Amino acid sequence: MDFDPHLTTDQSPRNADAHQDTRLPRWPDGRAPTVLQVVPTLVTGGAERGCIDMALALQAAGGTPLVASEGGPMVRELDRARITHLTLPLASKNPLTIRRNARRLAAIIREHKVDIVHARSRAPAWSAWLACRETGARYMTTFHAPYNFGSGPVGGRLKRWYNSVMARGERVVAISGFIRDHVLGNYPVDPARVRVIHRGIDRSVFAPDRVSPTRLVTLAKQWNLPDDRPVILLPGRLTRWKGQIVLIDALAKLGRKDVLALLVGSDQGRTGYREELENRIAANGLRGVVRMTDHCSDMAAAYLLSTVVVSASREPEAFGRVIVEAQAMGKPVIVSAIGAYQETVVPGETAWVVPPDDPDALARALDEALSLTPEQRDAIGARAIDFVADRYTKDRMCAETLAVYAELLQLG
């Protein structure tokens, strides 16, 4: 690919769509809304993180946030902020439970005078949609993934209908341009109702100067990292579509034994796939080159310890949080040319973009990335940090979502 590591930071292009205005919205009639967000659980994940971030942002903007879910460890964050969490069996896909949840949500809407219900997943979205029809509350959704359509003519139609609740919002938030195109291409949605609001990262966490030397030393010791070898990092749960096998095959083609590749992520019970990866590593003579670690609780430090961060996904990503976080930490990245990755990097300036499932292309990109001088690496890192700060921050995501809340209030 065409990659110019000699570009200076002030030569990086700016996206004409990047916004700088992150002021709080003007609430109609001066009254901030009460917003009920519904998610299946508050365990982990992008939808859950976005839900918590928005609840805190609405509270800071003078509104009243409520969250309904089955619960989970992240409820503690709401409790600390004194934000009301309502426990309902919202992860259930049972039609009877969905109906009962709709009645419960309708009662909550009336009791708390909820203005807007914001759904972030399909099962709770059906309950929310029914409750809003009954009460007159505004209904909006955030599309967090390109939900599949199942198989067979009957199964496909049923799955498409089930997914369609996410496209029924008076406003539909897509977390990337890729997701917007998916929504508009598969559901009868008026484009005027769709808003692209990229997921945002917390720059108080993902910034090089926020990681102490102690944290770096602690993680380096935990992983037993050598001081004299470049580190290739592929974060992501161990599942086939994340492309760990593609990276292993690329490393075999690269033919270097002086690097260390870390596959960081839990197998979540996929022991068969883990065993397949271990066999692939052994078959390619890469036991001293590739290591698998479990979930990492300090990803900011992990990025900072790396030389290059890779996502070798074989299927489209709805957003690709890992690659945005890595760029925020000033790291060059290599990504597959599918899904939202093509909008969350600057090809040739902050990233190498390679065809998916192509070990040869990935090996060539790795060779280029590992051959950079320190000065070239620093220049890429500075551009990457500026790029993320310009468009992919939590503050921007929250401000743009608050603006959608204000839009809905103006509908009357």
If asked whether residues 143 and 260 sit together in one domain, one would say no
- At 8 the pLDDT is 44
12 within some domain? no
Number of Cβ within 10 Å of residue 31's Cβ equals 11
- At 412 the pLDDT is 67
CATH number where 190 lies:
3.40.50.2000
If asked whether residues 238 and 381 sit together in one domain, one would say yes
Mark out the alpha helices in 41-176 (DSSP H runs). 46-60, 75-80, 95-112, 122-135, 153-163
244 within some domain? yes
E strand segments, 297-381: 308-311, 333-336, 351-354
If asked whether residues 404 and 376 sit together in one domain, one would say no
pTM higher than 0.85: yes
- At 285 the pLDDT is 96
- At 167 the pLDDT is 96
If asked whether residues 49 and 187 sit together in one domain, one would say yes
Kindly report, residue by residue over 331-363, the tens digit of the pLDDT: 999 999 999 998 999 999 999 999 999 999 999
If asked whether residues 399 and 378 sit together in one domain, one would say no
Q: Is 92 helix (H, G, I), strand (E, B) or coil?
A: coil
8 within some domain? no
If asked whether residues 237 and 378 sit together in one domain, one would say yes
If asked whether residues 250 and 117 sit together in one domain, one would say no
Residues of the chain with pLDDT under 70: 1-23, 150-155, 412
- At 148 the pLDDT is 80
3 within some domain? no
If asked whether residues 165 and 236 sit together in one domain, one would say no
If asked whether residues 196 and 215 sit together in one domain, one would say no
How many Å apart are CA 184 and CA 190, to the nearest integer? 8
4 within some domain? no
Query: For the chain, what is the domain count?
Result: 2
If asked whether residues 139 and 271 sit together in one domain, one would say no
Instruction: Answer yes or no: are the C-beta atoms of 289 and 253 closer than 8 Å.
Output: no
7 within some domain? no
Domain extent, residue 325, equals 208-391
Q: What is the 3 state secondary structure string of 237-302? A: CCCHHHCHHHHHHHHHHHCCCCCEEEEECCCCCCHHHHHHHHHHHHHCCCCCCEEEECCCCCHHHH
Q: Which residues contact 331 (CB under 8 A, 6 or more apart)?
A: 303, 304, 306, 307, 308, 309, 381, 384
- At 322 the pLDDT is 94
